[in-house]
């Protein structure tokens, strides 16, 4: 129950599952430290409030154009359209929360707002209302550093990427190469740059601080660079938040198929490759077929998440048929296919020996926390950045390579699962797991950072 002196934080998640989950993790972490939390949210892709009885949820009833909601829409266009359409409704919702707090009607005056880092328009809107806005980055610090370096990359002539820059390390964003920079297939590079420029501008002009779901042992140098770029010390690396929170896995996008955990119980230790490209990525039929053939050819047992409509050209709700010769492998029980897995439980299972991942930031952190080595297949957005750090900087994953055929897939899978190189990567993954654990212990850096964050929040 909120007391008379309780301060309230207004949160505004970006309406996609892998953005909502970390925002609600932060909400629970703040609540456990005595702050009251109101989650203002879009009606589009509204968060599930069921597991959060002590948070207050306030829908905005925004009006969105098709460009903001169409699942087939260009992703960058969608993010620009969401920002444009939600700026005014968020400003009004925040004003209303401030008034309710001042009138003593909401169990705590508003101390500050925490908005997702992709809501550049909301960061500015909060500043206009006179509320300190902190940005929650649900991606890596390396991704934000890359975004804040775009204008420098442009003026140094590295952008647009051409020729040999693709394979060269670019000094302003080292260890990234040209091909690791943020890109969104199907979106015009100019629009990607426009989006990044808007985020950059809001961060520099209006954000009072930045919260990261990361930890010092993996990203201290890049966090240091960001502090210099933003001229602020108000950065808080409080990850991995799901570990700091210690809460069980939430439902997520779909109901998970728990039968796959029973199947894992019957597999040998570290023998199974878990394959999942997250909740959004879609692949072409040819790539899907090469993945399937390569898996079958590797002889390695696998657990593969194939979401409905994962393969382009298949209708929503339809699972693509498994190509020969993968179907008999599954029929024999040497491989398993599910539409959605309880991923954190899967990664924690002793039978898992590797994770073929798109390197979404949540998946990357979850893999690091369980000490599972990765095989990286980044698809778009920040995934290329994360993949480069996983393979090059932290050495806990192997590249699949850009040329993607069944023979190379089979070779890469074997290299990770049974090869010497894979063993070295596994060893480093084990070390990183221990560091992730240390960071959330009582005297760890992330635990200290969240205490500092709470003090900062109530100072406004
Ligand atoms: N996830 C899951 N089951 C699945 C596939 C994914 O629970 O079968 C979860 C995964 O644990 C992670 C999230 O979905 O927390 C995916 O987020 P990520 O940032 O990795 O990728 P995105 O979906 O944004 O591309």
- pLDDT digits 0-9 by tens, 274-305: 999 999 898 999 999 999 999 999 999 999 99
CA distance 198 to 206: 11
Q: What is the pLDDT of residues 221-269, one digit of tens each?
A: 999 999 999 998 899 999 999 999 987 666 566 789 999 999 999 999 9
The residue ranges of the chain whose pLDDT is under 50 are 1-4
Distance in Å, CA 358 to ligand 1 centroid: 10
pLDDT of residue 61: 87
Q: Cβ contacts of residue 147 below 8 Å, gap of 6+?
A: 182, 196, 199, 200
CA distance 87 to 122: 6
Mutate which of 23, 276, 281, 360 for ligand 1 pocket (most atoms within 8 A of beta carbon): 360
Pick the CATH number of 7-250+440-457 from 1.20.120.1750, 3.40.50.2000, 3.40.1010.10, 3.40.50.720: 3.40.50.2000
Assess whether the C-beta atom of 343 lies below 6 angstroms from ligand 1.
Answer: yes
Assess whether the C-beta atom of 360 lies below 6 angstroms from ligand 1.
Answer: yes
Asked whether the beta carbons of 276 and 372 are under 8 A apart, the reply is no
pLDDT of residue 252: 64
Query: What is the value of pTM for the model shown?
Result: 0.96
Q: Cβ contacts of residue 120 below 8 Å, gap of 6+?
A: 83, 198, 199, 201, 202, 203
180 catalytic? Reply is no
Q: In what order do the strands lie in the sheet with 302-305?
A: 335-338, 302-305, 272-276, 352-357, 374-376, 397-399
Assess whether the C-beta atom of 278 lies below 6 angstroms from ligand 1.
Answer: yes
Assess whether the C-beta atom of 280 lies below 6 angstroms from ligand 1.
Answer: yes
Assess whether the C-beta atom of 357 lies below 6 angstroms from ligand 1.
Answer: no
Strand intervals (E) in 184-237: 207-212, 235-237
pLDDT of residue 1: 45
Asked whether the beta carbons of 419 and 273 are under 8 A apart, the reply is no
Distance in Å, CA 364 to ligand 1 centroid: 9
Say how many residues make up the chain: 460
pLDDT of residue 427: 98
pLDDT of residue 2: 46
Q: Which residues are 177's β-sheet partners?
A: 169
pLDDT of residue 313: 79
pLDDT of residue 73: 80
Assess whether the C-beta atom of 240 lies below 6 angstroms from ligand 1.
Answer: no
The percentage of residues in the chain with a pLDDT greater than 70, rounded to a whole number, is 97
CA distance 123 to 456: 17
**Architecture in CATH for domain 259-437:** 3-Layer(aba) Sandwich (3.40)
Q: Cβ contacts of residue 113 below 8 Å, gap of 6+?
A: 9, 10, 11, 12, 94, 122, 126, 131, 132, 133, 134
Question: Which residue CA neighbors atom 11 of ligand 1 most closely?
Answer: 343
Pairing of β 36-41 and β 56-59: parallel
Q: What is the pLDDT of residues 56-112, one digit of tens each?
A: 999 998 999 999 998 778 889 999 999 999 999 999 999 999 999 999 887 889 999
Distance in Å, CA 435 to ligand 1 centroid: 22
Phi, psi of 11 (to 5 degrees): -110, 150
Show me where the domains of the chain are located: 7-250+440-457, 259-437
pLDDT of residue 250: 65
pLDDT of residue 186: 74
Assess whether the C-beta atom of 25 lies below 6 angstroms from ligand 1.
Answer: no
* Three-state DSSP state, 208: strand
Assess whether the C-beta atom of 18 lies below 6 angstroms from ligand 1.
Answer: yes
Strand intervals (E) in 168-271: 207-212, 235-237
Distance in Å, CA 252 to ligand 1 centroid: 8
Catalytic residue among 41, 52, 61, 116: 116
Question: Which residue CA neighbors atom 25 of ligand 1 most closely?
Answer: 278
308: left (phi over 0), alpha (psi -120 to 50) or beta: beta
Q: Which residues are 276's β-sheet partners?
A: 357
* Three-state DSSP state, 273: strand
Asked whether the beta carbons of 351 and 265 are under 8 A apart, the reply is yes
Distance in Å, CA 126 to ligand 1 centroid: 29
CA-to-CA dists, residue 359 to 109, 126, 386, angstroms: 39, 31, 6
Domains 7-250+440-457 and 259-437 fall in the same CATH topology? yes
Distance in Å, CA 95 to ligand 1 centroid: 34
pLDDT of residue 160: 84
Q: Cβ contacts of residue 3 below 8 Å, gap of 6+?
A: none
pLDDT of residue 101: 93
19 catalytic? Reply is yes
In the structure encoding, which two tokens stand for residue 39, read together? 């989650």
Nearest atom, ligand 1, residue 19 CA: 24
CA-to-CA dists, residue 131 to 91, 114, 346, 350, angstroms: 10, 10, 41, 47
Asked whether the beta carbons of 58 and 65 are under 8 A apart, the reply is no
Burial class of residue 399 (count of CB atoms within 10 Å of its CB; 0-12, 13-18, 19+): middle
CA-to-CA dists, residue 188 to 29, 75, 77, 302, 377, angstroms: 38, 10, 9, 36, 22
pLDDT of residue 253: 66
Distance in Å, CA 389 to ligand 1 centroid: 19
Assess whether the C-beta atom of 340 lies below 6 angstroms from ligand 1.
Answer: yes
The percentage of residues in the chain with a pLDDT greater than 90, rounded to a whole number, is 82
């Amino acid at each position: 129950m909120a007391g008379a002196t309780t301060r309230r934080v207004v949160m505004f998640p970006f309406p996609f599952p892998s953005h909502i989950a970390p925002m609600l993790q932060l909400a629970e972490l703040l609540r456990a430290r005595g702050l009251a939390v109101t989650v203002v949210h879009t009606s589009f892709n509204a968060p599930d409030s069921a597991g959060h009885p002590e948070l207050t949820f306030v829908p905005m009833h925004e009006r969105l154009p098709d460009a903001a909601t169409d699942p087939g829409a260009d992703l960058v266009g969608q993010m620009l359209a969401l920002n444009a359409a939600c700026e005014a409704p968020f400003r009004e919702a925040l004003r209303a929360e401030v008034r309710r707090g001042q009138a003593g009607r909401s169990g705590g005056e508003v101390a500050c707002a925490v908005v997702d880092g992709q809501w550049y328009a909301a960061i500015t809107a909060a500043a206009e209302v006179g509320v300190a806005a902190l940005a929650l980055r649900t991606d890596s610090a390396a991704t934000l550093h890359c975004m804040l370096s775009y204008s420098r990359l442009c003026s140094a002539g590295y952008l647009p990427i051409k020729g040999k820059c693709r394979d060269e390390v670019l000094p302003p964003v080292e260890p990234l190469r040209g091909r690791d920079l943020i890109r969104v297939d199907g979106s015009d590079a100019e629009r990607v740059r426009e989006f990044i420029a808007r985020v950059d501008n809001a961060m520099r002009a209006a954000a009072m601080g930045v919260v990261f779901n990361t930890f010092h042992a993996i990203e201290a140098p890049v966090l240091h660079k960001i502090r210099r770029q933003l001229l602020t010390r108000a950065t808080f690396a409080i990850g991995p938040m799901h570990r700091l929170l210690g809460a069980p896995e939430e439902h997520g996008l779909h109901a998970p198929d728990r039968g796959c955990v029973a199947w894992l119980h019957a597999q040998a230790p570290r023998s199974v490759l878990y394959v999942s490209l997250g909740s959004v990525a879609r692949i072409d039929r040819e790539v899907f077929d090469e993945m399937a053939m390569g898996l079958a050819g590797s002889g390695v047992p696998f657990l593969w998440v194939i979401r409905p409509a994962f393969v382009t050209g298949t209708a929503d709700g339809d699972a693509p048929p498994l190509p020969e010769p993968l179907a008999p492998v599954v029929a024999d029980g040497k491989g398993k296919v599910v539409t959605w897995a309880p991923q954190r439980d899967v990664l924690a299972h002793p039978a898992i020996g590797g994770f073929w991942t798109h390197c979404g930031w949540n998946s990357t952190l979850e893999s690091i926390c369980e000490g599972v080595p990765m095989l990286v297949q980044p698809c778009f957005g920040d995934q290329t950045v994360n993949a480069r750090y996983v393979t090059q900087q932290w050495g806990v994953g192997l590249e699949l390579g850009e040329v993607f055929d069944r023979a190379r897939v089979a070779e890469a899978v074997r290299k990770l699962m049974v090869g010497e190189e894979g063993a070295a990567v596994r060893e480093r993954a084990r070390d990183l797991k221990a560091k992730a654990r240390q960071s959330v212990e009582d005297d760890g850096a992330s635990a200290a950072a969240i205490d500092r964050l709470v003090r900062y929040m109530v100072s406004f």
